[in-house]
Structure 1
Amino acid sequence: MSIFPFISPEVLESSESSELPMFREYAYDFENNCLLLRDGNTYLVEGNEALRIWIFKALTTERFRYTAYDGAFGSEIHTLIGSGLHSEIVTSEL
């Protein structure tokens, strides 16, 4: 019996047991800030390496700057640089 009467127990059980799809992202060279190539073509990596690339891109992309990304992607760290706020406030915002 669920504490939410509008959600049946069968729905909860099926959603908990389903696996998420493997995360995939194009291979990325962090030092040169470009995609990696294999035989002249870009290629995909999976798992933790793909997650590492996604996190890097999300932190280094300014939110709302590029129309290719929606408002949920990117960061606003650039707004804190030179803001003159106390270091504890900046740390809290980060």
Structure 2
Amino acid sequence: MSTIFPFIGVPEDYILPKTEELPIFREVAWNFEKDKPILENGDFKIVEGNEAIKVWVYKCIKTNRYEHEIYSWDYGTELSELIGQKYSKGLTESEASRYIKEALLVNPYILDVNVANTKFTEDLLSVDIIISTIYGEVEVNV
């Protein structure tokens, strides 16, 4: 069957098969209270699996999207867009949940994101997230 689209062959020819497994997810260990990396004997401590995903999620949510050239445009959140908006509290919390879910689902190790609780207290946003990963389920509080 011919179409007006400039493809040679069928569309299935252009889909890459997912035969390769993802490598083990690794990240630099992070001290969430001090907001800095953890060092052991002068070297960065490396964590794997769900612990690494927790670090990635924390850093992703804390990073403003499009602000740092070192990161791709897929990394970070647009939560700063909510600052100064005259939305209702409910709409602001709903938008924050949506921004967070969009930001986290770009990671291929994350299968599903459930933002369980989003709360603004004065100028501080706190979020409880339940994340399904290829390693299992993990809870993150940011």
Q: Residue 78 of structure 1 aligns with which residue?
A: 80
Task: Write the distance in 2 (CA, Å) between the matches of 1:40 and 1:84.
Answer: 47
Percent of pairs with identical residues: 34
Alignment of 1:1-94 (within 5 A): 6-7=11-12, 15=18, 18-94=20-96
Letter of the 2:90 counterpart: E
1:51 Cα deviation from its structure 2 partner: 0.2
Q: TM-score if structure 1 supplies the norm length? A: 0.77
Task: Write the distance in 2 (CA, Å) between the matches of 1:43 and 1:6.
Answer: 45
| Structure 2: gaps (5+ residues) | 1-9, 97-142
Which structure is higher in helix share?
1
The structure with the largest alpha-carbon Rg is 1
- Alignment RMSD (CA, Å): 1.8
Letter of the 2:71 counterpart: Y
Task: Write the distance in 1 (CA, Å) between the matches of 2:39 and 2:94.
Answer: 39
Equivalent residue pairs, number: 85
Task: Write the distance in 2 (CA, Å) between the matches of 1:24 and 1:40.
Answer: 19
Letter of the 1:60 counterpart: K
Which structure is higher in strand share?
2
Task: Write the distance in 2 (CA, Å) between the matches of 1:79 and 1:6.
Answer: 38
| Structure 1: gaps (5+ residues) | none
Q: TM-score if structure 2 supplies the norm length? A: 0.53
Deviation per residue, 1:16-61 (Å, 9 max, x gap) = x642211100011111111100011112110000000000000000
Task: Write the distance in 2 (CA, Å) between the matches of 1:88 and 1:27.
Answer: 34
Bigger shift: residues 70-79 or 51-60: 70-79
Task: Write the distance in 1 (CA, Å) between the matches of 2:42 and 2:36.
Answer: 13
